[in-house]
Amino acid sequence: MKQRFLLLWKANRSFFVFVCLMLIFRSAVADWNTVPTGSMKPTILEGDRIFVNKMAYDLRLPFTHISLLKRGDPARGDIIIFDSEVADKRLVKRVIGLPGDVVAMQQNQLWINGEKFSYQDSAAATGKIDKIENLLGVAHWVRRLGHESRHSSFKPVTVPPNHYLVLGDNRDNSADSRVIGFVPRGEIVGRSRHVVLSLNYDHYYLPRSDRFLEQLKVLTRLMV
Q: 27 is in which domain, residue-wise?
A: 2-211
Tell me the pLDDT tens digit for each residue of 9-65: 777 788 878 888 888 889 999 999 999 999 999 999 999 999 999 999 999 999 999
Confidence at residue 212, expressed as pLDDT on a 0 to 100 scale: 94
Say how many domains are in the chain. 1
Asked if 116 and 109 touch (Cβ cutoff 8 Å), the reply is yes
Asked if 155 and 173 touch (Cβ cutoff 8 Å), the reply is no
Within a domain: 68: yes
pLDDT-above-70 percentage for the chain: 93
Within a domain: 222: no
In the predicted model, residues of the chain with pLDDT beneath 50 are 124-125, 127, 220-224
Within a domain: 224: no
Spatial separation of the C-alpha atoms in residues 162 and 183, rounded to whole Å: 9
Answering whether pTM is above 0.85, one says: yes
Within a domain: 172: yes
41, 54, 93, 131: the active-site residue: 93
39, 84, 122, 198: the active-site residue: 39
Confidence at residue 221, expressed as pLDDT on a 0 to 100 scale: 42
67 is known as an active-site residue:
no
Report the CATH number that the domain containing residue 49 is assigned in CATH. 2.10.109.10
3-state secondary structure of 168: coil
Spatial separation of the C-alpha atoms in residues 41 and 94, rounded to whole Å: 11
Within a domain: 86: yes
Residues sharing a CB contact under 8 Å with residue 5, sequence separation 6 or more, in sequence order: none
Within a domain: 218: no
Within a domain: 61: yes
β 79-84/188-192 pair status: antiparallel
Confidence at residue 122, expressed as pLDDT on a 0 to 100 scale: 64
39 is known as an active-site residue:
yes
